[in-house]
Amino acid sequence: MTTSDSGLPPGKRGIAGTIDGDLEPCWLCGRSVAARALFCHACGAVLPPRALDPFTRLGLERRFDLDLEQVGRQFAGFSRALDPERFAARGARQQANARAQADALEEAFETLRDPVRRARALLALMDVSPLPPPETPDEEVADLAEQLAAAAAAEDAVAVDRLGNAVTQRIEACIKYLAPALRNAQADPARSEGALRILARLEQLEALAQEARDRRAALAPRGP
């Protein structure tokens, strides 16, 4: 067996060397720590964030139908532990690591609380690419968009609200059907087509919902 100058196989050069698997050396003491660790278990130093998927970063199961309240609790708990002001006495590097960890946690939180981004994150873990934007929108979505444009042109706020609610109902239905479709894809990525089609429709509906909010805001009474 080939060995290094330390007498250990390459990749096993002690606590300061390269650590195989998901363990990496602490920047301060060199002890091996898990990639998702926020602090070194040996010296307590704040670690820089590693490249992790958002589920792993927040300590959550890789699934679409997450409990969003639990997602929020995980994020809040980690964020409190990483308040940069708590590490002012430890020097600039640990404060910078705390800020970077907090930013990475916030990005993971924003990803998981958004159904489209959450679905895309799961698909990325399966090495499945989303469908390209369709050349023509979903027929029902296109019809709702035309009705919305007509209602806004007529300055009919009631109709805009009604259409916005109709879009929201369809978004909720998409999310309901997307969860089992993604479970099927996780069990067998070859069965991901159904999830991809539902996700594509959800993305169109989310864009239309934003348009409805924008058009409604434009019709809101202006203050004096």
Residues 107 and 54: beta-carbon distance below 8 Å: yes
Tens of pLDDT, residue by residue over 84-142, are: 888 889 999 999 999 999 999 999 999 999 999 999 999 999 999 998 888 888 999 99
SS3 category, 129: coil
Residues 121 and 55: beta-carbon distance below 8 Å: yes
Exposure string over 157-181, b if 16+ CB within 10 A, otherwise e = beebeebbebbeebbeebbeebbeb
Residues 92 and 99: beta-carbon distance below 8 Å: no
> In terms of DSSP H, where are the helices of 58-138?
68-81, 92-113, 115-125
**What pLDDT does residue 20 have?**
37
Cα 150 to the center of its chain, rounded Å:
35
Least Cα distance to 15 among 33, 41, 37, 39 occurs for 33
Radius of gyration of the chain measured on its C-alpha atoms: 24
The pTM of this model reads 0.84
Q: State the fold for domain 46-113.
A: Helix Hairpins (1.10.287)
Domain boundaries, the chain: 1-45, 46-113, 139-219
Tens of pLDDT, residue by residue over 14-71, are: 222 333 347 899 999 999 999 899 999 999 999 999 999 999 999 999 999 999 999 9
